[in-house]
Each structure stands twice: as structure tokens, then as C-alpha cells.
Structure 1
């Protein structure tokens, strides 16, 4: 049976972004001089090596996520450390939508209209295997709320956001995940796998 992993970057205090303009919580961002390390890139290679498809929010698809990783793949051709960036381009991508908006202008990307549970099931069927979701916050929160995530992969940055959006809420108080693995990467990010 296909599984869905929700992978999110968070701050120590549990936010996925910050409303404070001077917050410096995120080690790993979309800039050119990331201090993220080879061991973290290896972890991402492993995460995507087992994926048959990606689940993305419409804002992530619209706001440059796919273009960014396409450029990274071009900048690191043949480099095994950056295999995940090529996988992001090569894997089929699915964007759940209730709006019925037309297809995105990205290769191998399908908009799945309708309720979230049905869209996730359709994405699993079309991918014919496991899915990885990279959010954003609204989609990840909805997947957790609807109990659709089989695994939660948290990449905790070594800083505090202070205030911002969170994928967690009181509706999770009755749910339990089991810690499956934790790794402190040399750049300071701690990766934790939680499974159902």
C-alpha cells in the first residue's frame, strides 16, 4: 500500500515561517549560500529515492519551488550529492485543488480537483507508489488534520521563529506517532522521522 510522507522544515519553537522581520531561524533557505551539509543532502537523496511522486501545494508550485530545484539540478549536473534536485524535476507532481483551476505550466505536474482525501488517493494511484509532500503549511496542516500522513519528517532548524504559521493544532491532541529515527546533521538541522 502506498504511503504519504509529509516533510517540513520547522523552527525549534515549531513554526514553519516567521512573522518577525529580523528572525534568523532558518539555516536552510533558497539562497545561493546555504550552510546545509553533505549529510543533509544525502538524507534528501534517500527520501526522494523511495518516492514515486510529489504532493505540492498550489502556492509552492506557483511561487518558484519547481523552478528553483530545476536551476539547482542544472548547476550540479551529474553530482550525486544533488540527485534529489534532479528527482524533483523527474518525479510526477500532484497539486490538490478545490478551485478547479486549470493545469499548472510545469512538466509532469497534475492538478487534482476535489476533496483532499480523494486527491491524495488519486495521486497515490497515479504515482503507483509512495508520495512525499513538501507542503506548504496549509496543505501539510490539512493532511495532518485529515489523518492522511503516514510519516512526518521534520527538519528542525537551530533557531527560533518567535511567531508564525504552524502545521500543528489542537486537533492533533488525540493522535500519536512513533519516533522512528533522529539525526543531527552537521549544519545544525535535526531530522526526525515520526511514523504511524
Structure 2
């Protein structure tokens, strides 16, 4: 059965974006970008909130059309564009690029999606993660901790709701100082 994997970059103080939605503090170099390409390529689908989808849609659909774009950027543009996307939004009326709009997080629908063949499901967005957490739908947490304190902004886990025991299953430090922390649900990590 496919897993739901939360996949997010955060500041050391736990924010996914600054107070004005800035993400310019993310430290992404070729090593980290190649890791992202390699880990996201086999995934079955992206589960995006509206904000994440619009951020991605603003750049990635045509990023590989620029002949000056680095190969690593061109590679991810193809991965993102071709991968099925489920965009959770109550307001978005249409979404392109192999996307399906979903209005609400319904556990039975997520269970059916997990039961389909293919790679795991990549979850992105703090609000969407909160909804998935409320329904106990996240199997794995992959947080990429960037070596910066931003002081304020949107936290990844504003209200986790309840204690959730996790087990660390992997760490990786990248040359740019970003640290991957990969956790699984304690009940599933053994």
C-alpha cells in the first residue's frame, strides 16, 4: 500500500515561509536539488494545498523551456509536470498540469488513493498537513531543516492537535547545511 509522506522545507525555528510568504531563505544547491529529484521521481502523485500548487504552477510548468536553465532544474520541471497532482482547495476552480481538484480531505478517499498501484504520495503545505494530521493520514515526515532562523512566519505545525509518537529512521546532512530528518509513525517504524 502506498504511503502519505509529508515533504517540507523548514527553518530551524519551524517555519515554512516568512510573514509575507517569502521562501528566499531556502538553501537549495545542486546536491540538495538532485536529492529532491531522485526522491520525488519515483513517487506516485503530489498532494498539494492551493498555495503550494500555485507556487509550483507559477514556475515549474515551463522551467525547462529556458535553454539556459540548468539540467537539474529542467529535470525537476519534467517530474513535476508529468506527475499526477491532487490539489486540495475549496476555492480553486481549475488546475492544469495533470491535476485534479479535491475539495476536502476525506479519509476514505485518501485510503482509496493509497490503495491504488504506484509510488507513494507526497504531501506539501502546512494547512493541508494539518488537515491530514487531524485525520491521522500521514505515514512519514520528511523535513528538510534549513540553517536559518527567520523569526516569524507560517509554522509547519501550528496546531498538531495531539501528541504523535514518531521514530527517527534517517538523517542526512547536505554540504550546504540543510539536514533531512525522516520520521515514521512509531507504530509503523518498528
Same fold (TM over 0.5): yes
**1:33 corresponds to:** none
Q: What stretches of structure 2 of length at least 5 have no aligned partner?
A: 186-190
- Superposition map of 1:70-89 within 5 A: 70-75=61-66, 79=71, 82-89=74-81
CA shift in 2, pair 1:165/1:66, >3 Å: same
Within the candidate set 117, 125, 146, 1:157 is matched to 146
| Cα 1:26–1:78 shift into 2, 3 Å | closer
Please name the residue that 2:56 is paired with: 65
Task: Check the 8 A contact 1:38/1:81 in 2, yes or no.
Answer: no
> Which of the numbers 108, 111, 117 marks the counterpart of 2:107?
117
Q: 1:8, 1:153 within 8 Å by CA — same for their partners in 2?
A: yes
| CA contact 1:27–1:189 (8 Å) conserved in 2 | no
- Residues 150-173 of structure 1: CA distance to partner in whole angstroms, max 9, x if unpaired? 111111111112122212245455
Aligned mates of 1:43, 1:168 — CA distance in 2: 24
In structure 1, the residue matched to 2:10 is: 10
More strand by proportion, 1 or 2? 2
The answer as to whether partners of 1:16 and 1:165 remain within 8 angstroms in 2 is yes
Q: Return the TM-score normalized by structure 1.
A: 0.78
RMSD of aligned residue pairs (Cα, Å)? 2.9
Cα contact 1:20–1:161 (8 A) shared by 2: no
**What is the CA distance between 1:134 and its match in structure 2?**
2.1
Change (3 A) 1:114 1:107: same
Q: For residues 74-132 of structure 1, what are the alpha-carbon distances to aligned partners after superposition, in whole Å with 9 as ceiling and x for unaligned?
A: 337793675333111110100124x3754x23121001234442443344356744111
